[in-house]
């Protein structure tokens, strides 16, 4: 599939086995790691203290793993879930290798299950296995995310305003 074919999909547009290589990639920086760690009140010296990091045997500062989860989830949203009703959860989160400051993180997702929602006739339930990896192809995170996603024509109707042009 092309990138265009992944945009604005609804429940009916997915098939188990579909794989999407997400179009967004991001190089993570020292600033990202520091800000996220401080914003989330995570005082682990592994993310804040370069001397501690070296004493622990790392060459570079390992990235805050919850940032990695948020980043890779975010990379999948534009392609898979702009029509999501809600996230239902993350399962089987694995961090086989750390991401480090300066890595560029890429991701891809595979649709692993689809079913009708028992409670919401306007939505279905989709689970995707998402894999995040660095510039060398080393996997830094894997997880399954389950979402409730609208069916075609069943999502909220949002009115987009038009710009007001003065002097026209």
pTM of the predicted protein model: 0.88
Phi and psi at residue 76, to the nearest 5°: -85, -15
Please state whether beta strands 104-116 and 26-27 pair in parallel, antiparallel, or not at all (unpaired): antiparallel
pLDDT at 1: 52
The share of the chain scoring above pLDDT 70, in percent, equals 96
DSSP state of 162: P
Convert the pLDDT of each residue in 142-162 to its tens digit: 999 999 999 998 888 888 889
pLDDT surpassing 90 at residue 17: yes
Convert the pLDDT of each residue in 60-72 to its tens digit: 899 999 999 999 9
pLDDT surpassing 80 at residue 6: no
Q: How confident is the model at residue 168 (pLDDT cuts 50, 70, 90)?
A: low
Q: How confident is the model at residue 36 (pLDDT cuts 50, 70, 90)?
A: very high
11 neighbors 149 (Cβ within 8 angstroms) = yes
pLDDT at 87: 95
Convert the pLDDT of each residue in 93-123 to its tens digit: 999 999 998 999 999 999 999 999 999 999 9
pLDDT at 8: 82
Domains and CATH numbers, the chain: 3-150 (3.10.129.10)
pLDDT at 99: 95
Q: Classify residue 106 as exposed, middle or buried by CB count within 10 Å of its CB (0-12, 13-18, 19+).
A: buried
Q: Rounded to whole angstroms, how far apart are CA atoms 87 and 81? A: 9
pLDDT at 146: 98
Tell me which H or E stretch contains 144: strand 139-150
């Amino acid at each position: 599939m092309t990138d265009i074919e992944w945009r604005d999909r609804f429940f009916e547009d997915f098939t188990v086995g579909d794989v999407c290589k997400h179009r967004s990639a991001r190089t993570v920086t020292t600033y990202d790691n520091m800000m996220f760690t401080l914003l989330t009140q995570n005082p682990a010296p592994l993310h804040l203290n370069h001397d501690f990091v070296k004493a622990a045997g790392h060459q570079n500062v390992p990235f805050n793993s919850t940032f990695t989860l948020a980043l890779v989830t975010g990379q999948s949203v534009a392609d898979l879930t702009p029509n999501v009703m809600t996230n239902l959860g993350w399962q089987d989160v694995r961090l086989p290798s750390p991401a480090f400051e300066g890595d560029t993180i890429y991701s891809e997702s595979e649709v692993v299950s689809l079913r009708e929602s028992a409670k919401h006739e306007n939505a279905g339930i989709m689970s995707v296995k998402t894999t995040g990896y660095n510039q060398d192809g080393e996997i830094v995170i894997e997880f399954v995310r389950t979402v409730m996603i609208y069916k075609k024509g069943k999502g909220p109707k949002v009115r987009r305003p038009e710009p007001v042009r003065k002097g026209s």
